[in-house]
Each structure stands twice: as structure tokens, then as C-alpha cells.
Amino acid sequence: MGTGAQVIHDVVGIGFGPSNLSLATALEEHRTNVPARPLTAAFFERQPSFGWHRNMLLPSTTMQVSFLKDLATFRNPSSRFSFVSYLHASGRLADFVNTHTFFPTRQEFHQYLEWVEASFTDRVSYDSEVVGLALPPDAASGLARYLQVEVRDRGGSGTRLVNARNVVVSTGLVPRMPVGVDRDERVWHSSEFLDRFRQVDPHTLKRVAVVGAGQSAAEITRFFHDTLPDAQVFAIVPSYGYSVADSTPFANQVFDPDAVDDYFYGTNRTKDAFWQYHKNTNYSVVDDDVIRDLHRRVYDEDVRGSRRLHFLDLTRVSDVKRAGNETRVVLESLLDTDSQDLDVDVLVCATGYDSMDPSALLGDLDRYCLRDASGRHQVGRDYRLRTAPPLSCGIYLQGGTEHTHGLSSSLLSNIAVRSGEIADSIAQRRAEDEPGTA
């Protein structure tokens, strides 16, 4: 284990997806505002280069959030890191406006994110995975003013230590498989989809199945149907096909920055109401145009009398048996107690994600992090974990705060504002420690 001895960064960001990229822009704008003593930052990302859910960059897929909810605009409408600035720099502003859309393709949004990232290459390390956090050796004698972040660089030997006054954990969603089902070369999770798909000869795929009734499942089902014209495509759904994602104007208020206060300061009853009435803005739901497109395909195939897109409604996957190249999926009907088998060449589990949990990274430090009555981490309004001595430095979360801050926690909707609030909190706490540095 090497040690990067003396330097102590104001901020170390763990993960460099959109959330911490947005934080980089907020810190940069803070640097412009307080040039005398800018907050210093270093980010560590385990991927070899910037990438935002690359394995789901399927043709024609569009954003599920307005382009105005980019990395910066809601925090600072005149930011040079906005999507509009990107369009202007790319010479496409007029043409984009001519498309009359709020929802660019995911491909274009990815290009926007890469364009912003190009301004921060001096403070991000790729191929660098953070494997743990620890108190410095002298912390036992008093309050710990900084943390040691343990980083493993791909191709390097061992790990190195980086010192941070504040850590911002933003490691993203964690893929979830059906209970008892393991991934292998024929059983994939949607998060690895394109990587896996490129490794197989598409001509060998005669029967493919996609499990789940969310946006990922619908997009992969459509992709299979487009890309494999001779294959039978099965959509295994626990419902009647797909249900629509509610993005109507009143419901969309659940993602407004003000809704974070309503949720955070609300009672348990308030929080229950958010989930009861608005879960269908995000989970297990699909954009209207994709639903109608897929339904149309099924109907057209029926009219032609040659069905190859099959919806197995009210059905869950309960097991997968592998024997050589055979993949036998055990289907459980929700109509009765029957189960039946389906043999496929590939099964894609678009079965969702668990939210970010910092416990593994915290390791031993977790015992200084306070928990609520349900055993969940206590988090302040400024997204900082509530901690007990000797841990006094800041550990902030971008993600994993649905229980405290509500539905937008794992989404892009509020990242511009959230990053600004985290940057403000870090600057404010430094000013209290070192007057004159706000």
C-alpha cells in the first residue's frame, strides 16, 4: 500500500458518472466565485474512460428527463456547462430547437456529458477503483479532520492512499438479478447488454427472452425485435405487458427541487404518499411511445398471421437451469400455481437495480455513521452522513438517499441543485474551520 502523503484534497469524489461530474462543475463555479482559496478536488472512476450506462446506449433511445435538467442549469442557468452551451459549441443549437423536443437521444446526452468531462480531465483518474475508506493513524487521539481513501489502479501493484477532508460517494445503482439466478455467458443483466450482445453471433440467436416490465426491458425487447428478424422474442412480464411512466405535469412535480424539502422534512405519512402516488413515475414503467410501438408490432404480426414477438403476461422467472448451451427458464404463472419451462438461446434480466449503499466502502468507519430506527443511514439535508466522533469530516452521498430525500435520489432530475448544495456545504464547513475561506 503506497501513501500519497502530504496533500489533503478538500473533496475526493468516488465514481465519475453524471452526479460527480455535476459536482465537478459546481466546484469549478465555486472556484470562479472564490478564486483566492478554491476548493481542491480529485475524482476516481473505475471505468477506463467516461461512460454513462454505455451498455444501454441502444439506437433511438431517448432521455427520460428534460435537457434543461442537465448537469448545471437548475443550479446556474448561465453555466457554461449547460446542455444549451454544448449545443451551441457543437453548432447544433438551431437544429436542435427545430426538433421541438425536450428529450434528446441518450446518444446525444452522452456526447454532452463527454463534452463537459473534457474540462475536468486534470482532476479525474480512470481505471482507478476506490476499495475503502479509513481514518488516518493519528485519529484515535482526537477528531479525524481527514480520511484516507484507498485506491486500486488497474495494472498497478497494490493500492495507494489519497487524503480527503470530504468524500462524495457516487457509485451508482447496483444491478439486481432474480433471486437464485446467476449471470453467465447466456444469462445477462440489462446493465451488461451491449457488451454481451456484441460477443455473440446474432445468427445463433433464434429464441431470446427479456424479463421485466420496466424501461430497460421494453428497450431491449424492441432492439431484439429490430436486430434479429428471424428470432422468436419473448417478453416475460409480471403484468399485462408494460404500463406507462407517468410524466404528466402535476406528477412530474415530484422531481422538482422543492419536493426534496417536502420529502426530507415531511412525516412518515408524507413519505408514504410520495411512494403510494408517484412510484409509477419511475419504477416498472415504460415511455408511452415505446409501449405503443411494441403493441403495434404484436398487432401487425397477428394480422399477418406470423407472430414472433410474444408477451408472457402475469409471469415471473423463478429459476434458470443451464446445461451446456441450453438455457431453460422456469416460468411461474401469477394466474395459478403452475410453472412451465421456456428454452432460449439468451435470457436478459432487465430486473432493475438496488440503490447505492456505501456500507462496503465505509468498512470499519460504518460504526461511526448513525442509523435510523429501521437501520438505514441517517443523512442530513446537505446529503452528508450523520457521524459520531472521532469521525468529523464529511462523507456525502449522491444516490442511496431515497429514504431521506425521495424519488429523485437515483435520477438526473435534481443533480445540478444537489451538487450545488453539497459544494455549498463543503465550502461552509471549511469556512467554519478556517475563517475567511468561504
Cell of 16: 465519475
Which residue among 113, 412, 417, 426 contacts ligand FDA (CB under 6 A)? 412
Q: How many residues bind ligand FDA (CB under 6 A)?
A: 30
Per CB under 6 A, 284 contacts ligand NAP: yes
Per CB under 6 A, 409 contacts ligand NAP: no
Peptide bond into 178 cis (omega under 30): no
Nearer to ligand NAP, 282 or 404 (CB): 282
Per CB under 6 A, 14 contacts ligand FDA: yes
Which residue among 317, 347, 348, 426 contacts ligand NAP (CB under 6 A)? 317
User: What is the C-alpha to C-alpha distance for residues 408 and 415, in angstroms, rounded to an integer?
Assistant: 9
Nearer to ligand NAP, 163 or 408 (CB): 408
CB atoms within 10 A of CB 404: 20
Tell me the closest approach of the beta carbon of residue 237 to ligand NAP, in angstroms: 7
Which among ligand FDA, ligand NAP, none contacts residue 148 (Cβ within 5 to 8 A by kind)? none
CB atoms within 10 A of CB 160: 16
Per CB under 6 A, 172 contacts ligand FDA: yes
Nearer to ligand NAP, 130 or 312 (CB): 312
**String of DSSP letters for 347-403:** EEE---EEPP-THHHHGGGGGGB-B-TTSPBPB-TTSBBPB-TTB-SEEEESSS-HH
Q: Please report, as residue ranges, which positions from 182 to 241 form the binding site for ligand FDA (by CB under 6 A).
A: 216
Q: Where are the beta strands (DSSP E) in 220-285?
A: 232-236
Tell me the closest approach of the beta carbon of residue 17 to ligand FDA, in angstroms: 2
Which residue among 55, 60, 64, 119 contacts ligand NAP (CB under 6 A)? 64
Amino acid at position 63, single letter: M
The residue among 395, 344, 414, 335 whose CA lies nearest residue 134 is: 395
H or E segment and range at residue 292: helix 288-304
Cell of 56: 444501454
Q: Which residue is nearest to ligand NAP (CB)?
A: 214
Q: Could you tell me the maximum CA-CA distance found in the chain, to the nearest angstrom?
A: 78
Per CB under 6 A, 413 contacts ligand FDA: yes
Q: What is the x/- site pattern for ligand NAP, positions 2-41, by CB under 6 A?
A: ----------------------------------------
From its phi and psi, is residue 77 left (phi > 0), alpha (psi between -120 and 50) or beta? alpha
Interacting residues toward ligand FDA by CB under 6 A: 14-20, 44-47, 52-53, 56, 63-65, 129-130, 170-173, 216, 398-399, 410-413
